[in-house]
C-alpha cells in the first residue's frame, strides 16, 4: 500500500515538473548595439523594440531565483560583459559570467553548449537563457525564455525599459559615429541597406528551413536594428546577430521540455552559423566591389542623365540647364496604396519579398517622407477611403519647390513635371531624383489610389507607410485570413448586399479585364500580385458593399506590370505609364458597366416574388390535415390508456 502511494506521489511530482517546463513562455531579446525586445505581457502580446543608448550596467532580469546584469560600452553601445547569479531561496547557487560559464556543485542549474553558444536552464522553474557570440566578433545576443508566471514577479530591463532606451518606430538614417573613419568603414555605413538585406534574406531562409515562423513585423524590426547598427558603426558584422534573433523569436512559441529545447537549440545554432558564414562571403564581396569602384563614384557619368519626359503633355517642360545626375532607372522600386486602404511597400531590390498590409489608421497618414518628398493621405472612418492627398517636394538644400493636393495640382518649379494622360490619372515627375508619383481616381468616385516609383538608394533615408507599417496595419497573409477577419461595415441597402454576395465574381471580372489589358500592351502580369489584388478586392467589396472599390486593383496590376518590365530609360518608363493609363481608362469604364448590369439583373431577379408560393385566402380549401400531429399523438395515447384500464379490470 505504501509503495503504491509512493509511486503515485512520484508520478504526480514528475507530472508537475513537466507541466512547469512545458508551459508557454515569453522571450526577451537583447542584441546588437544593443536593441531590446521586452517580454510580452501575455502569450502573443504586443512587444515594442527599443534601442538603448546609455553606457553602464543594466539589470536585465531579477527575481527571487536569478539576477542578470549586462555591461554596455559607450559608442558603439555593445554588450561587453554579462553576469547571471542564481539562488535557491537565500542560498547562492552559482554565478555565470563571460569569464566563467559553469555552475558546478549543484543540480538545479544546467549549463550546456560550446565556447560561442551556451544555454543555461533551470530544471524546475522553466526559464532558459541563451548567450550567443556572433562569429569571431565582440557582439553577443542574449535571449531569456521564461514562464509568464515568473515574468509577472520579475523586474529589470526585460520587463520595462529605462529612460536611456528609445522606441524604434521606423527606419531612420543614422550618421557614422566614428571620428576619421576608414574608407571601408565609410562605404560599409553607406551600404547598410544591401548589407542588411543580405542578412534578412538569410534569416528568413534559415527560419523557413527550421520550420519556424518569421512574421513581417519581426522582419521589419530586424531591418531597422540592422541598418541602425551598420550605419553607426561602419562594421558589417554589427547587424549579423539578427539571423539568430529571428530563430530565437520563432522558438519562443514552442511548448517543449528542457531536453527538447536543448537539442533543438544546438541544432539551430549550427544552421545559424552556416547562414552567417554564407552571408559574410556575399557582404564582403559587396564592400570590396564598392571599394574597387570608388574612383568612378566622383564622376557624373556614373549615372544616366534623365532625358526628360514628353514636354507636349507636361505643365513644366524641363530645360537642359536643370538636368543633374539622376539615379539609375533600374534601381526604381514601387509602393502602391489603394482601396480600403491596402499597401504594397517598397522593396530594396527586385528579388526581395514584398508584403501586403491592410491599414486601418484614421486621419492624416505619412505615406512617404525623405529629403526630396513628403507624401500624405487622409483616411476617413466609414470605409477607410483615401479621399485626400498632399505632396510636397524639396530641393537639395531643403527649400520647398511646391506643394499640391487633391484640390489643386500645379507647380512653378522646372524640376517638377505634371502630366495628365487621362481624366482619371495625374502623373508627377521629379526629374532630377527619378521619383514618379501616379494618382489614380476611381471610376466615377472622388477616391484615389497612389503609385510611387522611387530609387532604392532613397529608402534608407525614408520613413512612412511605404517603408514600414504602423502598429494598426494588419499583414494580409491570404484568402483564408480574410475569411477569419471581422468585417464590421455591413451594408444595409439591397444593392450593397448584392455586391457583398457577388464579391468573388465581381473581383474576378475586374482582374480578368486588367490582365487582358496588360497583355495587349505587351507586358507580363504579375501572378503573385494578382493574388494580393484579389484578396484586397474581395475584402473591400464585402466590407463596404461598394463595387467601385474593385476597379482599384486594375491600377495596382498595371503599375506592377510596368515595374516588372524594367525599362532601360526614364523616357521608356514614362511612355509605359502613359500607355497604361490610356489603355486602362476605357477598359475600366466597360467592365464597370458590365458589373453594373450584372448587379441590376440580380436585383431585379431577387425583387420578383416566387410563383411556387401557395397563397391561402378565406375561400381557399385548406391543405393542412384536420388534426395536427400533436392532436394525433394525443388520441393515440388516449387509446393506449383505455386499453390498459380494460385489461386491468379483467385481471381483477
| Domain-embedded: residue 303 | no
Residue 19 CB burial class (10 angstroms; 0-12, 13-18, ≥19)? exposed
Is the model more confident about 73 or about 268?
268
The answer, yes or no, to whether residue 481 has pLDDT greater than 50, is: no
Question: In sequence order, what are the residues at sequence separation of 6 or more whose Cβ sits closer than 8 angstroms to the Cβ of residue 409?
Answer: 418, 426
| Confidence category of residue 391, pLDDT binned at 50, 70, 90 | very high
Is the model more confident about 140 or about 11?
140
Answer yes or no: are the C-beta atoms of 478 and 535 closer than 8 Å: yes
What's the whole-number mean pLDDT along residues 237-255? 87
CA distance 121 to 103: 11
| Domain-embedded: residue 300 | no
Is the model more confident about 559 or about 340?
559
Is pTM beyond 0.95? Reply is no
Q: What is the pLDDT of residue 341?
A: 86
Q: What is the pLDDT of residue 56?
A: 82
Query: What is the per-residue pLDDT across 399-416, written as a single tens digit (0 to 9) for each?
Result: 999 999 988 888 888 889
Q: Are residues 401 and 491 in the same domain?
A: yes
280 sits in which H/E element: helix 258-292
Query: What is the per-residue pLDDT across 330-388, written as a single tens digit (0 to 9) for each?
Result: 889 999 998 888 898 887 555 566 778 888 777 888 999 999 999 999 887 555 678 88
| Domain-embedded: residue 6 | no
Q: Are residues 538 and 427 in the same domain?
A: yes
Q: Are residues 523 and 382 in the same domain?
A: yes
CA distance 365 to 120: 45
Q: What is the pLDDT of residue 170?
A: 67
| Confidence category of residue 80, pLDDT binned at 50, 70, 90 | low
Name which of 274, 258, 244 is nearest 143 in CA terms. Answer: 244
Question: In sequence order, what are the residues at sequence separation of 6 or more whose Cβ sits closer than 8 angstroms to the Cβ of residue 153?
Answer: 63, 64
Q: What is the pLDDT of residue 175?
A: 82
Instruction: List alpha helices for 85-237, DSSP H.
Output: 148-151, 183-190, 192-209, 216-233
CA distance 535 to 475: 12
What's the whole-number mean pLDDT along residues 464-469? 84
| Domain-embedded: residue 282 | yes
Q: What is the pLDDT of residue 633?
A: 41
Is the model more confident about 446 or about 294?
446
Answer yes or no: are the C-beta atoms of 119 and 111 closer than 8 Å: yes
Instruction: List alpha helices for 465-522, DSSP H.
Output: 479-484, 494-501, 503-520
Q: Are residues 280 and 318 in the same domain?
A: no
Q: What is the pLDDT of residue 63?
A: 92
CA distance 317 to 320: 10
CATH number at residue 30: 3.40.1000.10
Q: Are residues 212 and 264 in the same domain?
A: yes
Answer yes or no: are the C-beta atoms of 258 and 19 closer than 8 Å: no
Q: Choose one of 256, 290, 324: the last residue of a domain.
A: 290
| Domain-embedded: residue 115 | yes
Q: Are residues 71 and 118 in the same domain?
A: yes
| Domain-embedded: residue 610 | no
The answer, yes or no, to whether residue 277 has pLDDT greater than 70, is: yes
Q: Which of 199-203, 243-247, 444-448, 567-571 has the lowest mean pLDDT?
A: 444-448
Answer yes or no: are the C-beta atoms of 133 and 241 closer than 8 Å: no
| Confidence category of residue 644, pLDDT binned at 50, 70, 90 | very low
| Confidence category of residue 181, pLDDT binned at 50, 70, 90 | confident
Q: Choose one of 581, 603, 625: the last residue of a domain.
A: 603
Specify the number of domains making up the chain. 2
Q: What is the pLDDT of residue 502?
A: 92
Q: Are residues 419 and 485 in the same domain?
A: yes
Q: What is the pLDDT of residue 632?
A: 40
Q: What is the pLDDT of residue 350?
A: 53
The answer, yes or no, to whether residue 536 has pLDDT greater than 70, is: yes
Q: Are residues 275 and 319 in the same domain?
A: no
Q: Which of 475-479, 487-491, 545-549, 572-576 has the lowest mean pLDDT?
A: 487-491
How many residues comprise the chain?
Answer: 652
What's the whole-number mean pLDDT along residues 547-562? 89
What's the whole-number mean pLDDT along residues 183-187? 89
| Domain-embedded: residue 333 | yes
Q: Are residues 277 and 330 in the same domain?
A: no
Q: Choose one of 603, 620, 638: the last residue of a domain.
A: 603
Q: Which of 307-316, 395-404, 490-499 has the lowest mean pLDDT?
A: 307-316
Query: E strands of 361-496, at which residues?
Result: 363-369, 373-379, 386-394, 400-405, 416-422, 425-430, 435-441, 448-455, 473-475
The answer, yes or no, to whether residue 213 has pLDDT greater than 60, is: yes
| Confidence category of residue 1, pLDDT binned at 50, 70, 90 | very low
The answer, yes or no, to whether residue 61 has pLDDT greater than 90, is: yes
User: Hey, is 225 helix, strand or coil?
Assistant: helix
Q: Are residues 201 and 252 in the same domain?
A: yes
| Confidence category of residue 303, pLDDT binned at 50, 70, 90 | very low
Answer yes or no: are the C-beta atoms of 94 and 104 closer than 8 Å: yes
Q: Are residues 412 and 482 in the same domain?
A: yes
Q: What is the pLDDT of residue 195?
A: 93
- Which whole-number Å values give the CA distances from 4 to 11, 16, 17, 18, 521, in the listed order? 11, 18, 20, 21, 83
Query: What is the per-residue pLDDT across 92-112, written as a single tens digit (0 to 9) for each?
Result: 889 998 888 888 877 788 898
Q: Are residues 472 and 352 in the same domain?
A: yes
What's the whole-number mean pLDDT along residues 211-229? 87
Q: Which of 367-376, 477-486, 557-566, 596-605 has the lowest mean pLDDT?
A: 477-486
Q: What percent of the chain has pLDDT over 70?
A: 78
Query: E strands of 251-341, at which residues?
Result: 332-338
| Confidence category of residue 619, pLDDT binned at 50, 70, 90 | very low
| Domain-embedded: residue 30 | yes
Which domain does 272 fall in, by range?
A: 11-290
Amino acid at each position: 500500500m505504501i509503495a503504491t502511494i509512493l509511486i503515485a506521489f512520484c508520478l504526480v511530482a514528475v507530472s508537475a515538473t513537466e507541466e512547469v517546463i512545458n508551459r508557454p513562455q515569453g522571450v526577451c531579446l537583447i542584441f546588437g548595439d544593443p536593441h531590446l525586445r521586452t517580454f510580452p505581457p501575455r502569450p502573443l502580446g504586443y512587444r515594442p523594440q527599443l534601442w538603448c543608448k546609455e553606457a553602464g550596467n543594466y539589470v536585465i532580469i531579477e527575481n527571487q531565483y536569478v539576477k542578470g546584469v549586462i555591461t554596455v560600452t559607450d559608442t558603439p553601445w555593445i554588450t561587453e560583459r554579462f553576469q547571471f547569479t542564481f539562488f535557491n531561496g537565500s542560498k547562492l547557487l552559482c554565478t555565470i559570467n563571460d569569464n566563467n560559464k559553469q555552475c558546478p556543485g549543484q543540480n538545479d542549474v544546467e549549463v550546456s553548449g560550446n565556447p560561442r553558444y551556451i544555454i543555461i536552464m533551470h530544471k524546475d522553474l522553466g526559464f532558459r537563457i541563451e548567450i550567443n557570440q556572433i562569429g569571431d566578433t565582440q557582439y553577443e545576443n542574449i535571449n531569456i525564455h521564461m514562464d509568464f508566471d515568473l515574468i509577472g514577479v520579475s523586474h529589470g530591463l526585460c520587463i520595462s525599459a529605462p529612460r536611456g532606451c528609445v522606441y524604434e518606430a521606423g527606419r531612420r538614417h543614422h550618421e557614422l559615429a566614428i571620428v576619421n573613419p576608414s574608407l571601408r568603414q565609410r562605404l560599409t555605413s553607406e551600404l547598410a541597406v544591401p548589407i542588411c538585406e543580405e542578412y534578412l534574406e538569410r534569416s528568413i531562409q534559415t527560419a523557413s528551413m527550421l520550420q519556424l515562423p518569421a512574421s513581417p513585423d519581426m522582419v521589419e524590426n530586424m531591418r531597422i536594428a540592422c541598418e541602425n547598427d551598420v550605419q553607426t558603426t561602419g562594421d558589417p558584422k554589427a547587424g549579423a546577430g539578427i539571423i539568430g534573433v529571428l530563430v530565437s523569436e520563432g522558438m519562443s512559441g514552442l511548448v517543449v521540455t528542457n531536453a527538447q529545447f536543448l537539442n533543438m537549440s544546438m541544432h539551430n545554432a549550427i544552421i545559424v552559423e552556416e547562414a552567417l558564414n554564407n552571408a559574410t562571403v556575399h557582404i564582403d564581396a559587396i564592400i570590396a566591389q564598392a571599394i574597387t569602384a570608388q574612383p568612378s563614384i566622383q564622376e557624373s557619368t556614373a549615372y544616366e542623365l534623365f532625358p526628360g519626359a514628353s514636354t507636349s503633355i507636361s505643365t513644366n517642360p524641363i530645360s537642359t540647364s536643370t538636368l543633374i545626375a539622376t539615379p539609375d532607372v533600374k534601381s526604381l522600386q514601387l509602393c502602391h496604396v489603394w482601396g480600403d486602404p491596402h499597401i504594397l511597400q517598397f522593396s530594396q531590390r527586385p528579388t526581395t519579398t514584398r508584403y501586403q498590409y491592410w491599414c486601418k489608421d484614421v486621419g492624416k497618414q505619412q505615406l512617404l517622407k525623405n529629403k526630396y518628398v513628403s507624401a500624405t493621405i487622409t483616411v476617413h472612418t466609414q470605409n477607410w477611403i483615401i479621399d485626400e492627398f498632399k505632396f510636397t517636394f524639396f530641393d537639395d538644400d531643403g527649400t520647398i519647390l511646391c506643394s499640391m493636393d487633391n484640390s489643386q495640382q500645379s507647380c512653378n518649379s522646372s524640376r517638377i513635371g505634371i502630366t495628365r494622360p487621362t481624366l482619371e490619372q495625374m502623373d508627377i515627375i521629379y526629374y532630377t531624383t527619378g521619383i514618379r508619383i501616379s494618382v489614380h481616381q476611381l471610376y466615377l468616385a472622388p477616391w484615389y489610389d497612389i503609385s510611387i516609383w522611387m530609387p532604392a538608394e532613397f529608402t534608407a533615408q525614408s520613413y512612412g507607410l511605404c517603408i514600414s507599417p504602423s502598429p494598426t496595419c494588419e499583414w494580409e497573409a491570404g484568402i483564408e485570413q480574410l475569411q477569419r477577419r471581422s468585417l464590421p461595415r455591413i451594408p444595409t441597402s439591397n444593392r450593397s448586399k448584392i455586391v457583398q454576395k457577388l464579391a468573388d465574381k465581381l473581383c474576378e471580372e475586374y482582374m480578368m479585364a486588367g490582365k487582358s489589358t496588360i497583355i495587349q500592351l505587351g507586358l507580363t502580369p504579375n501572378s503573385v500580385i494578382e493574388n494580393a489584388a484579389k484578396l484586397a478586392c474581395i475584402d473591400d467589396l464585402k466590407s463596404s458593399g461598394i463595387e467601385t472599390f474593385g476597379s482599384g486593383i486594375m491600377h495596382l496590376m498595371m503599375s506592377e506590370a510596368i515595374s516588372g518590365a524594367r525599362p532601360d530609360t526614364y523616357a521608356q518608363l514614362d511612355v509605359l505609364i502613359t500607355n497604361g493609363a490610356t489603355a486602362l481608362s476605357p477598359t475600366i469604364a466597360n467592365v464597370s458597366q458590365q458589373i453594373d448590369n450584372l448587379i441590376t439583373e440580380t436585383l431585379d431577379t431577387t425583387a420578383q416574388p416566387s410563383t411556387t408560393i401557395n397563397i391561402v385566402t378565406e375561400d381557399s380549401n385548406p391543405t393542412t390535415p384536420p388534426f395536427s400531429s400533436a392532436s394525433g399523438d394525443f388520441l393515440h395515447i388516449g387509446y393506449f390508456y383505455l386499453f390498459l384500464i380494460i385489461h386491468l379490470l379483467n385481471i381483477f
